[in-house]
Structure 1
């Protein structure tokens, strides 16, 4: 695998869209109930027939069903996790993915399309002038992620965060209490290829937000008290963890993480929970997937 080439935005090669595959996750944080009708109206107005698949509980299966159709592009309307699932399901010679923002954070969509995240605008702009973009990913063991990985006890905040997204405050409080996210029992050591070394209770390994500078933004926090960790955790619940208080930052293309007092590492990769072994290496895949972007060339 070539790790010397930078992430690139380049015009698609004489691409004409004659038929689109559409994967919609109705459980996305901002996908409306009439999402299929909205997309169908836009595509019909542009003369593009489509095959639709609605995600129930298995995003990968929905993507596989779309691949069985003769399509030129695959439109994926959902959050970061839905798009990551689609990208991990597809092979390099499969049609490129057009991600439409349908989640709460939409961090991958912001990276791909820029500031304008109106789904209809993204769709029309891409169909009028398809532009292909190679995007990077992080890889640990055989898992790939396109936004970021969170490691440590704060990953237990995933459930209460989802409850808050659904405006279920009571459920959020219940999940928060059961998560025990503030247990200071997850010490880790992080060593990057730049030589930086950090000890932390929580780590974030995020893909760079700059397409011209692929790599990892490495965030670490080692709070001195439960109150400090609580503040960081609540910031992560309500906003981007990168903006949390008390976080040290670094940049790398390879990161080795070791759990100091446990046999495994609690983690979420693009929001999906996974348990990693005690020693885990995160590497950068500079050209991991092809997407269609609403950015200009």
Structure 2
């Protein structure tokens, strides 16, 4: 039987469609992804103005209804709320740690799956979930290997965190540590000098789960997702850091920059579900990589299920501490 030109063309088109489908990367088998929204902040950290277009090109490889929204100054809240109200199967976020954390907090455990991709400076949460600082690689891992993951965390007053919160003057070591990790040694030294100048600005008082009041140079609260020392349901890992002078401060700083700080004799750790921290002056804090100042006291609480992430099983924990 002889095929007509129309029949031949139709057969070739069908074969091409089958071939294209076969070459497409496969979406994760762990959850149905039919519709996703990706929020991109082009002004954040390592994102850049071309990221939205690059994201669209990657998403086009997958059999999923996807839309990319570039966040605009002055429109953040409206755009974020519109994305949450649309109830997609997953909400992908390419932005800084602060923006990703805010969106995850607003989504909560009943909202869409959240994929916080590395688009900031420290990228603590994305590295813990995907094990990479490359947002394109993290995006593909989320789409191809992602599964619903309950992410626990904590709160400093009303601000949630999912990796770690450092309270006290040594919180100022966090920028120095990140600069060392990225090879910016001069910048690290400058941050370290600032931290040392403020290292003895005042100790803090703290209580853990209603225990007696104690003093420390700083308190670190680490989520179970990235802590090597506590189980998922045990609470936050609370680490008290104590130094008796400049020599011990330098040693502790060296451990914080280069080694496992738990091995330092000036550090003690304990699992806790609630804590109170007080100081005579305002308390420096770094919450998931974002530095700020608190008031004279702060309440820290454990949040067993803060939001649900779209992440590989188990989470990559690239930044476990």
1:207: how far off?
0.8
TM-score, length-normalised on structure 1?
Answer: 0.75
CA RMSD of aligned residues (A): 3.8
Residue 279 of structure 1 corresponds to 297
Aligned pair partner of 1:212 in 228, 232, 237: 232
8 Å contact from structure 1 (residues 79, 104) kept in 2 = yes
Does residue 233 of structure 1 match 2:253?
Answer: yes
Give unpaired runs (5+ residues) of structure 2.
Answer: 1-28, 316-321
Q: How does 1:1-297 map to 2 (within 5 A)?
A: 15-24=32-41, 27-28=44-45, 31=47, 34-48=50-64, 49-54=66-71, 63-64=80-81, 66-67=83-84, 71-78=88-95, 80-90=97-107, 93-103=110-120, 105-113=122-130, 115=131, 119-128=135-144, 130-158=146-174, 160=176, 169-193=185-209, 195=211, 198-208=214-224, 209=226, 212-237=232-257, 246-259=266-279, 262-295=280-313
> Are residues 195 and 25 of structure 1, via their aligned partners in 2, closer, same or farther at CA, if it must alter by over 3 Å?
farther
The structure carrying a bigger strand percent of its residues is 1
- Tell which deviates more after alignment, 32-41 or 146-155: 32-41
Distance change >3 Å, CA 202–CA 59, structure 1 → 2: farther
Shift of 1:206: 1.0
> 1:294: how far off?
1.9
Greater per-residue helix proportion: 2
Task: Give the CA deviation at 1:44.
Answer: 0.4
Q: Which has the larger radius of gyration?
A: 2
CA shift, 1:76, in A, is 1.4
Which residues of structure 1 form unaligned runs of 5+? 1-10
Contact 2:283 2:294 in 1 (8 A): yes
Q: Compared with structure 1, are the counterparts of its residues 107 and 171 closer, same or farther at alpha carbon in structure 2 (3 Å cutoff)? A: closer
After superposition, what is the alpha-carbon deviation per residue over 1:12-46, rounded to whole angstroms, capped at 9, x for unaligned? Answer: 7x7432242232455435x5775334422220011
> How big is each residue's C-alpha offset from its partner over 1:91-142, in whole Å with a ceiling of 9 and x where there is no partner?
55543211223456544234434x5776445433443465212211211321
How many residues align? The count is 282
Q: CA-to-partner distance for each residue in 1:175-213, whole Å, 9 max, x for gaps?
A: 544455543132122221284764211111111236733
Provide the residue aligned with 1:7 in structure 2: none
- Taking a change above 3 Å as real, the CA distance of residues 202 and 78 of structure 1, as seen in their structure-2 partners, is same
1:178 and 1:61 mapped to 2: Cα distance? 38
SS in structure 1 of the partner of residue 35 of structure 2: coil
